[in-house]
Amino acid sequence: MKKAAFFLLILISIVFTMYAQTAEAAITASPSSITIARGSQSTRSITHNIIDSTGCTLAASTSGQFISGSNTLGTVNTPVSASLDINTAIGSAAESLTIPVSVVKKAEQLRVNSFQFQRQFTITGDDCITHTDSSTVQIRVTTEAAAEFKITRLQLYFENKKAETTVMRHQPLKAYADISFAGSGLLQGYWEADGRIISNVKTHLIYGKSVTIETPEIPSLPTFQTGTHRLRFVITSPSGVTLPDAIYFVTAEEFRQKFIINLLSPNDKAEIDYSPHAFTFTWKGENQAVAYLVEFLEKGGEKPIFSAYTKNSEYKFPLSVFKSVFSSGGSYFWRVKGFDAENNETAESNTYSFTIKEQVPPLPSDIK
C-alpha cells in the first residue's frame, strides 16, 4: 500500500510537472500583425503580453529575429523584460521595434512579402523552473500607398524655412508642418506654443500628395511676450512620432503694424480716357499717415515707373508727367503707401489696375 501510494505520488508529480512544463506560459504580441511599406525603415510599438502560471516572476529576452521559413533576415539585439505579477501571473514587455530596410530587401530577394519577428523569452523566478517561450509578430510588406497609416517624416519651419526664427513683439508669425506619411487615414493633432493649445487639427490624409499644415491666422502664434518660445505640432493619432520642437524668439522691439489704405478711385480694373484730367487718384488713409507715396507700375513690373509723394489723400497728374509716363492702350497698376511723422512706413494699400483707353486716331477729314 505504501509502495502504491508512493508510486501514485510520483505519478501525480510527473503529470503535474509535465502539465506545468507544457501549459505554464503563453506569450502573445500586440499587435500580432503589422503592415509596413517597402523601401524605408519602419518603427512600430510592440507589446509582448505574458501569462505564466508557474510562479515565475521575470520574463526576459535578449534578442529577436526576423525570419522567413528557415531564413533569418535580421536580428534585433535590444533586450526587453517584464516583471510578472505573482497574483495575476501576467506581465508585459514593450518595445519599439525597428524594421531596417535591409530586412525588407532580404525578403524581396527571397521573393516573399511576409515574414515574422520572433522573440524568445526566458521565464525565471525563485520558486519556478526556468523555461522559455516565444512571441511572434507577423509582418507584411506592401507599397507605401497600401501600408498602415503612419507618419514617416515631420518637419517644422517658419517662413524662413528653418525651425528657428526671431521676430519683433506683436509681429504676426506663421509656422508650417510638412508631413510625409504612408497609407491613408485620419490625422489628429494640435499646434502647441509653450504648452498651450493654439488650434486643433483633425483631417483625413489621403496617400498621393504631401501635406503642409500651417498655423491659423486667428488665433495667431503669441508674440506679445518677449523671449524664447517653443512650438510643436503634437500628433496624437497615428502614434509613433517623436515630436520635434521649433523655437522662436520675440524681441522687445515693437513691430509696427501696417494700417490699411483703401483705394477709392479709380476702381480696380477701371478703363480711363487718355487725358490727365481723367486721372485723379483718391484713397482713404489712416490718421497716422502724414505723407503718402503713390506708385504706378507696369504690368509684371516690380519697380514703379513713376511715383509721387503727397500729404493729401489724392493725386492729380501734371500734364508733362502724364504724357511722358503713360501711353494710350496701356495697362498699369497703382498702390499707395503711408508714412508717419518719423518717416516710418506705417500703411499700405492693395494694388489696383487700370487701363487707358485707346486713342482714336484723327480721321484725315478732321485735319484741316
How would DSSP label each residue in 299-333? TT-SS-SEEEEESSSEEE--HHHHHHH--TT-EEE
Helix (H, G, I), strand (E, B) or coil at 105: helix
Q: Is 75 in the site for another protein (CB under 8 A)?
A: no
Q: Is 275 in the site for another protein (CB under 8 A)?
A: no
Q: Is 353 in the site for another protein (CB under 8 A)?
A: no
Q: Is 69 in the site for another protein (CB under 8 A)?
A: no
Residue whose CB is less far from another protein, 124 or 282: 282
Among 228, 275, 328, 359, binds another protein (CB under 8 A): 228
Q: Under rule CB under 8 A, which residues in 84-103 are in contact with another protein?
A: 100-102
Q: Is 279 in the site for another protein (CB under 8 A)?
A: no
**Min. distance of Cβ 71 from another protein in angstroms?**
15
Q: Is 291 in the site for another protein (CB under 8 A)?
A: yes
**Phi, psi for residue 278 in degrees, rounded to 5:** -80, -10
Among 85, 214, 245, 271, binds another protein (CB under 8 A): 245
In one letter, which amino acid is 312?
A: N
Options 5-13, 64-72, 104-112, 129-137: segment touching another protein (CB under 8 A): 104-112
Q: Under rule CB under 8 A, which residues in 316-335 are in contact with another protein?
A: 318, 320-321
CA atoms of 264 and 56, how far apart (whole Å):
85
Q: Is 288 in the site for another protein (CB under 8 A)?
A: yes
CA atoms of 117 and 99, how far apart (whole Å):
9
Q: Is 43 in the site for another protein (CB under 8 A)?
A: yes
**Phi, psi for residue 331 in degrees, rounded to 5:** -110, 135
**Min. distance of Cβ 93 from another protein in angstroms?**
22
Q: Is 280 in the site for another protein (CB under 8 A)?
A: no
CA atoms of 205 and 187, how far apart (whole Å):
7
Q: What end-to-end distance do the CA atoms of the chain give, in Å?
A: 152
Helix, strand and coil content of the chain, in percent to the nearest 5, comes to 10, 50, 35
Residue whose CB is less far from another protein, 123 or 182: 182
CA atoms of 66 and 105, how far apart (whole Å):
12
Q: Is 336 in the site for another protein (CB under 8 A)?
A: no
**Min. distance of Cβ 105 from another protein in angstroms?**
5
Residue whose CB is less far from another protein, 60 or 348: 348
Among 78, 251, 282, 353, binds another protein (CB under 8 A): 251
**Min. distance of Cβ 21 from another protein in angstroms?**
34
**Min. distance of Cβ 168 from another protein in angstroms?**
8
**Min. distance of Cβ 78 from another protein in angstroms?**
15
Q: Under rule CB under 8 A, which residues in 145-164 are in contact with another protein?
A: 145-146, 150-157, 160-164
In one letter, which amino acid is 195?
A: G
Among 125, 222, 276, 330, binds another protein (CB under 8 A): 222
CA atoms of 6 and 229, how far apart (whole Å):
78
Residue whose CB is less far from another protein, 21 or 324: 324
Among 13, 32, 143, 351, binds another protein (CB under 8 A): 143
Residue with cell 515574414: 115
> Cis bond leading into 304, ω under 30°?
no
Options 52-60, 80-88, 223-231, 272-280: segment touching another protein (CB under 8 A): 223-231
Among 65, 124, 134, 188, binds another protein (CB under 8 A): 188
Helix (H, G, I), strand (E, B) or coil at 283: strand
Number of residues that bind another protein (CB under 8 A): 100
Distance from the Cα of residue 251 to its chain's centroid: 26
Pairing mode, strands 196-205 and 345-349: unpaired
- The 3-class secondary structure across 190-235, one letter per residue, is EEEECCEEEEEEEEEECCCCCEEEECCCCCCCCCCCCEEEEEEEEE
Pairing mode, strands 227-237 and 246-254: antiparallel
